[in-house]
Structure 1
Amino acid sequence: QGVMDGDADLPSAREARLVGASPLGKLAWQLAFPLLQLARTARAGASGRGPSRAWLAANAALQLGADIALVVVLGPWPVVYLLASTLFGAALHPISARYVQEHTALGGPGSAQETFSYYGPGNLVALNLGYHNEHHDFPFVAWNRLPRVRRAAPEVYDALASHRSWTRLWWRFLADRRVSLFDRVVRERRGGPDAEA
């Protein structure tokens, strides 16, 4: 969840309009997701809600320096591995449904719940990424302890809407024309550098 055109985690209104609700548009969006996420980070920095352009430039320089050092010391394969890992992590497979699962209100606009968890076997290979409500409630709890948070408070987490299948969610996102990037949970701007007093 976040503020439209301000938070790097949210697609811009222009991005959502361009992608639309067609399966082909959403498929193309998912393929381009890693690059779009980079552009969103720069957008958030320009809006004052993310890192400044100076920090982004410093980060890029540091990353480039680390990549060059890897190539010089170990050859090109470590960098190839890192790039492939990034692409495979956001590739066309059910685990990438987590980008939809975390903050997409499939109950339609106006759904009261802002974050959604996934409880299924995919968490075993995805380091419990599905435990998203628990992560938001306790951001400093380690990934391997998030299931304990849920077990400790079933009266809280069992009452919330959640997903049991990333595959079903992924297919619904891609195939259902009633679901689009506009179904992401969006907040009104409540504070920050350009909020009204």
Structure 2
Amino acid sequence: MAPPSSSSTTTSASEAPKLEKTIRLNGKGGEKAQDGSSDLKRDPVEVKYREFFWTYTEEPHRTRRLAIIKAHPEVTKLCGPEPLTIYVVLGVVALQVFCAYTLRNTSFFSPYYWLLAYVVGATANQNLFMAIHEISHNLAFRSPTANRLFAIVANLPIGIPYSASFRPYHLTHHKSLGVDGLDTDLPTALEAIFLDSILGKAFFCTFQIFFYAIRPMCVYSVPFTWVSAVNVLVQALFDVVILKTLGGNAMLYFLLSSFLAGSLHPLAGHFIAEHYVYETVTPTQKNPDNRIPVPETYSYYGPLNFLVYNVGLHNEHHDFPAVPWTRLPELNRIASEFYSELPHHRSWTYVLWRFIFDESVGIRCRVKRKEGGRLVGQRSDWKKNELEA
């Protein structure tokens, strides 16, 4: 769907076509000025979106990164690999193999089987999803090749090979944030048509792991490299060994853990919290011309970050992808004046709840741009792109 033409920086919900919108102020009285200059919070806001947010400016992270470096040049010293990631990954992989071993003779239909898969397995595999995300930025080893191969190790308890293809898709997400047709984190028009309801959003949240696995391949394909071949072969060998030695129940434990990790699980809230627009997230920022912008990245500041490599510090991560998880809190502390007033989340569980039941949040609540950034993985400079953090 092509964006409507506009001279403003962002087409917000109030400017989008086919929109139904009702606003209740927070009880302070008065009316909101047309230019958005009022300090009154829209709390609560009832909005039913019928269009994406289209913006005509570049993504905000490069601009903020340059501003932060200018104000705090010492932040560049935070960049570089974090060896602790290696030991955490090996420990979680070992934990998952041990759990699969304990369940080898337990019925798939046993409540204990599902409880262990949800509480331990889904948490562990979500940790490994985020480990692969961390490693995709070359933040475990200094050697790019070592990072590619170690991501394959982290992939093992997930059951399905995906670490090799994840990296080019994810780097494109960074370099082309919100670009229609390039950023595969964006919902497709088909998803927006069929999932724009409470039942549709509940279906999306329950099976979002499949959307994130299948959607990229439907948008564009990345080259099949030697790393991809190793990823497939090693994963297939691991799966066969598990089936032969521990049996089908053990293998199903890995697959169920992966499914639950991307379903109605508290940690799965980060998939939605990172880039979906939640208007009532506090506080609201204003840009210099006094218009209220639509933020396109949101951080989460809560205890669950401990389990997933601080992925909740998502504005910080997009501003500085080369800063590892252990140093993102320090980045936030040093550049606190840049982050303290940005809209953010406090609960991933509440993010999921609101996404499903609140009509002001939906599949179309994403910021899109028609062009900008670039595709990683389909050009002649593939090898160069592979080495970029």
TM over 0.5: yes
Q: What does residue 158 of structure 1 align with?
A: 340
2:300 aligned with 1:124, yes or no? no
Q: What does residue 218 of structure 2 align with?
A: 43
User: Would you tell me which structure has more helix in proportion to its own residues?
Assistant: 1
Deviation at 1:167, TM superposition (A): 2.4
Determine which structure has more spread, i.e. the larger CA radius of gyration.
Answer: 2
Which of 2, 14, 19 pairs up with 2:195? 19
Which of 11, 19, 30 pairs up with 2:205? 30
The whole-number CA distance in structure 2 between the counterparts of 1:76 and 1:142 is 37
> Is 1:102–1:116's contact at 8 Å kept on the other side of the alignment?
yes
Which of 322, 330, 343 pairs up with 1:140? 322
1:105 to 1:16, Cα distance in 2 relative to 1, 3 A: same
Flag structure 2 segments of 5+ consecutive residues without an equivalent: 1-176, 281-291, 376-389
Code of the aligned partner of 1:134: E
The whole-number CA distance in structure 2 between the counterparts of 1:70 and 1:175 is 40
1:101 to 1:191, Cα distance in 2 relative to 1, 3 A: closer
Deviation at 1:74, TM superposition (A): 5.5
Deviation at 1:83, TM superposition (A): 1.5
Give the match's secondary structure for 2:220.
helix
The whole-number CA distance in structure 1 between the counterparts of 2:359 and 2:274 is 19
Deviation at 1:40, TM superposition (A): 1.3
Please report the RMSD computed on the Cα atoms of aligned residues, expressed in angstroms: 2.8
The alignment covers a number of residue pairs equal to: 187
Code of the aligned partner of 1:140: A
Output one character per residue of 1:122-172: Cα deviation in whole Å (capped at 9) or x when no partner.
Answer: 223333221111111121222222212111211111121111122222211
Code of the aligned partner of 2:203: A
Percent identity between the two aligned chains? 38
> Is 2:209–2:263's contact at 8 Å kept on the other side of the alignment?
no
Output one character per residue of 1:71-98: Cα deviation in whole Å (capped at 9) or x when no partner.
Answer: 3465546533432231121121332221
2:254 aligned with 1:82, yes or no? yes
Q: What does residue 360 of structure 2 align with?
A: 178
- Of the structure 1 ranges 128-137 and 139-148, higher mean CA displacement relative to structure 2 is found in 139-148
> Is 1:105–1:111's contact at 8 Å kept on the other side of the alignment?
no
Q: What does residue 92 of structure 1 align with?
A: 264
Output one character per residue of 1:5-50: Cα deviation in whole Å (capped at 9) or x when no partner.
Answer: 4322111111111101x2211110112211121211212334xxxx
> Is 2:179–2:373's contact at 8 Å kept on the other side of the alignment?
no
Flag structure 1 segments of 5+ consecutive residues without an equivalent: none
Code of the aligned partner of 1:26: K
Q: What does residue 274 of structure 2 align with?
A: 102
The whole-number CA distance in structure 2 between the counterparts of 1:176 and 1:150 is 30
The whole-number CA distance in structure 1 between the counterparts of 2:241 and 2:219 is 29
Give the match's secondary structure for 2:207.
helix
Code of the aligned partner of 1:43: C
2:61 aligned with 1:61, yes or no? no
